[in-house]
Structure 1
């Protein structure tokens, strides 16, 4: 799947806020809260975490799909044992009419089986002959704690051939994101970029979730990036609107592929949806 097959979309902010993508955590109450607060038009992704196992992610994906949502599971390479298990997951997703997955390497300390990283899993999916119309991969605007920028760029080029979009890890600086997006495009990766950011999340809830479960790549990334972590928790240090306004001049520009936002809700669904609705009204004026 060539990166040239997925050209960027020209979007304005009302269009973006009309259908933000939300990431949710696979907790017991997640499905009920999603149905209560989130419209069916909202695209969802479900994270994968080592403490809960890949089954929690797949089961919640099936439940949300049955409720009428467009939902994509995180397929964590280090949590899937082999092609047999992967084929079973693909089969279940097809039965649930799930047309999208997001492939990550994962935070498990040891691989459960034959897949070491996201690229291994992407190759296996391709060999299986999956049905997914959308395959997402991660991007790192501020780098990675354990991987060099050169290796990140090389890995992104490899994975982009088997993917249709990029969703970034959390970065609070709009100029850094835009500069990275320009580098990605200049490097020949022409996939749409969805900028990852926390939604209307209380500091107390984010801290509680990160300490209690460690679920979600974004939580772990905040832990690894100390400057970003403290920028989030200092008084007045973060609001989702600041990042959106900072990126507004770059969305749809020809030198980058930034098209959308991917919102890490940390299951603060009511507050995040209220924020989205208010933002939609504001940017539509």
Structure 2
């Protein structure tokens, strides 16, 4: 499955790919430069928060994204912030660089916070976002739940984040954890819409990557079983060589997507196989059939 299927430019799968987003780490800034031209102008590029990377590294990556005509969305990881001052200094730095317009706020990986913030809701409530030129905040969505957080806590945190973002007069959007099955994704989207939340939802999709790597990431984040991935992606669980792309997932999602009930849906690519490979795969996928 190294080659993506192609669809007419006006088909549902192709339309679902309009205004997709991708992500990089700070250390990916140099490779991003080589891939930037493969992305449509003003593509949203998330700059992730890694514990091994300093604020200066993330700032430089966000500036690189902006300098190549794309839209950076720096991540702020609540549990990795040592103090309120560190939060405010980070926001001020992105504002000074002109890269603070869109932020993605997550809890982060540490089981125990290094500072006063236990989750994304705490950061959103504590930060004076508009004073730092923030106009859009992205938050996480978990269609298949979280391996370490009960659904009731996820739901309560979602409500807090949505209310705080609304109270600050800032636009919000969701980026979901990546998945391999459209059923829980669509079910979660319908649940969010039933709560009266009409924000754009970016559905997380694994970019093309080695099959072993896909299974490894899925196991790490608890989003699917190896057998489930094999069934949805069409490869044999006994042969884990080669690369798999998300064409089947996107085609099925597009076929079941109903804008009147699901609202504004876009795709967000987790670039496990690398940004260049993901950008090239998307280009092939979007090519009109001949």
TM-score normalized with structure 1 length = 0.80
Cα deviation, residue 131, structure 1: 1.5
- Listed as ranges, the matches of 1:53-64 within 5 Å are 53-64=54-65
Whole-angstrom distance in 1 between the partners of 2:58 and 2:285: 29
Instruction: Name 1:165's counterpart in structure 2.
Output: 173
Structure exhibiting the larger radius of gyration computed from Cα positions: 2
* 1:23 and 2:31 correspond: no
Instruction: Name 2:145's counterpart in structure 1.
Output: 143
Instruction: Name 2:191's counterpart in structure 1.
Output: 183
Cα deviation, residue 12, structure 1: 5.2
Check conservation: 1:80, 1:115, Cα contact below 8 A.
yes
Check conservation: 1:12, 1:252, Cα contact below 8 A.
no
| 5+ long unaligned stretches in structure 2 | 1-10, 166-170, 236-243
Whole-angstrom distance in 1 between the partners of 2:225 and 2:56: 31
Cα deviation, residue 205, structure 1: 5.7
Instruction: Name 2:234's counterpart in structure 1.
Output: 236
Whole-angstrom distance in 2 between the partners of 1:127 and 1:38: 29
| 5+ long unaligned stretches in structure 1 | 1-10, 211-218
- Listed as ranges, the matches of 1:1-285 within 5 Å are 13-27=13-27, 29-35=30-36, 37-98=38-99, 99-126=101-128, 129-161=131-163, 162=165, 164-203=172-211, 219=217, 222-225=219-222, 227-229=224-226, 231-232=228-229, 236-237=234-235, 239-266=245-272, 268-282=274-288
Q: Which moved more, 1:164-173 or 1:38-47?
A: 38-47
Check conservation: 2:204, 2:270, Cα contact below 8 A.
yes
Cα deviation, residue 39, structure 1: 4.3
Cα deviation, residue 16, structure 1: 3.7
Q: Which moved more, 1:83-92 or 1:51-60?
A: 51-60
Whole-angstrom distance in 2 between the partners of 1:132 and 1:260: 21
Q: Which moved more, 1:125-134 or 1:268-277?
A: 125-134
Cα deviation, residue 54, structure 1: 4.5
Aligned length in residues = 263
